[in-house]
Each structure stands twice: as C-alpha cells, then as structure tokens.
Amino acid sequence: MKIFTYNVNGIRSALTKGLITWMMREKPDVLCLQEIKAQEDQIPVEEFDALGYHCNWFPAEKKGYSGVGILSLQKPDAVYRGMGIDRYDAEGRLIRADFNGLTVVSAYHPSGTTGDERQQFKMEWLEDFFDYAHYLKNERPNLLLAGDYNICHRPIDIHDPVRNANSSGFLPEEREWMEEFLNSGFTDTFRVFNKHPHHYTWWSYRAGSRARNLGWRIDYILSSGNLRNKLLHAWIDPKAVHSDHCPAALELEG
C-alpha cells in the first residue's frame, strides 16, 4: 500500500502541470493533499474519477485559501472533516479517512511566516493537534498523520540551519514541539529509511532555490507505534514539479 502526501499549492494549478500523469505513473493507493485552494465545485473531479479515485475534500471557507483532501482507490469506511475546533476548521486544515483498521489524516499545519499573530495561531494549533492526535491514536491505533507540518525538525532537514535559526518553521519552540511529538509515540517514516542530509520537500520560488536544492523538509508522514513493523519503504520525489513542494511517500505492508 502506497501513501503519498503532497502540498499542491493549488489543485487546479497542479492539474495544469501534469498531476494526473504523475498519478498514473505512481499509482498511489492514498493521496493526501494540502493547499488545494479551491471549493469542491471548482475541482475537476472527473479527472480523478477516471483513474478510479474516491475524492474527499475539506476546503477553507475563504475562497482560494488552504484546504485539504484525501484521494483513495479504496472507498473509506468513514470520513471526518476538521478537528472539531471552529477557528481551525474554518481554514480547512484537517481531514481524516478510515480504511478498515487503518486511519489516515491529511493536515495542513499553519505557517507563521506572516507575523507574530499567525505564529501564535500556529503554536496554539500545534498544542491542540498534539491532543487531537493522541486522542485519535487511542481510538484508532493504526494511524498515519500525513501533511505539511511547516516545521523542519532538525538541522539536517534545512539547507541553512544557521541563517534560519530565527525563521518560522525552524524556531526552537517549533522544533521542540516536533521532538516531543515524535517521542510521544510517532515515527518520522522518512528518517527510518534515510538518515542523509539534502533531502527536502519545499523550495522557495526565489533565486533558483530548487535548482540549487536550497530547501526545507517540512512535509511528513508520521506513523503510530503500532505500524512500526509494517513500514516497508519511505521516500521523497523531488522530480515531481507541480508545486513549490514535492511529494513524500510511504509504502506500508498490508
């Protein structure tokens, strides 16, 4: 079973850049999307239908902003939109799908790059997401938390940790949150299989950052401890260029 997470920075834009061709090649069983930036009636779902995907979306109330989705070849047993907290759910930041004993979450964590107010919002979200994830893990122990976390965990995950030491996405308090979250019963699946530097999932559009591989690894698939022995392979696909992000992927047994 192959699970992908991909911040597409606009689902309609990604479709014009060959997203369907990429999906035909990779054949994800589950594709978690972030920043769809569209309402449901604006998404040409017939292109996904033609590939056999069941589409579930959770757009933001604000048009052209945020929003998440889960596409799957298997129809989910149940789909839940939001975390049950209005100010997050209005921004379309989380969707969950249950498949037999497996639960997959697609989450778009807030960015704090626009100023102190949004950074505070981000830190509050992280605290509430921590509680949500642990409540969910107790209820659904076979759990994957996929998405754009907008955090680089360690210096190995960012091209210039020194100059970015005070940048949102690499702040000490954000990195401490990630460390605590992982230590509380979740696994960074990519790092199980790859311990090396220079693997990133986002690059600025400025100054040829992607061509020079000056990136950040901020997109993750985290697994609960129950799934640790079912992890077969995890990777990043920087050749997918439908967005300023690239997909992260996990192959899971069963």
Question: Can 148 be counted among the known catalytic residues?
Answer: yes
Give 181-247 as a DSSP string: HHHTTEEEHHHHH---S---SEE-SGGGTTTTT-EE--EEEEEEGGGGGGEEEEEE-TT--SSSB--
Identify whether the C-beta of residue 55 lies closer than 8 Å to the C-beta of residue 69: yes
**Separation CA 223–CA 186 (nearest Å):** 5
**3-state secondary structure at position 230:** helix
**Separation CA 170–CA 179 (nearest Å):** 12
Q: Which of 148, 157, 188, 219 is catalytic?
A: 148
DSSP code for 245: B
All residues at 6 or more sequence positions from 35 whose CB lies less than 8 Å from its CB, including other chains: 7, 8, 9, 10, 66, 67, 108, 148
Which amino acid, 17?
K
Q: Count the neighbouring beta carbons within 10 Å of the beta carbon of residue 170.
A: 22
Q: Count the neighbouring beta carbons within 10 Å of the beta carbon of residue 132.
A: 20
**Separation CA 244–CA 193 (nearest Å):** 24
Length of the chain: 254
Residues annotated as catalytic (active site), given as ranges = 148
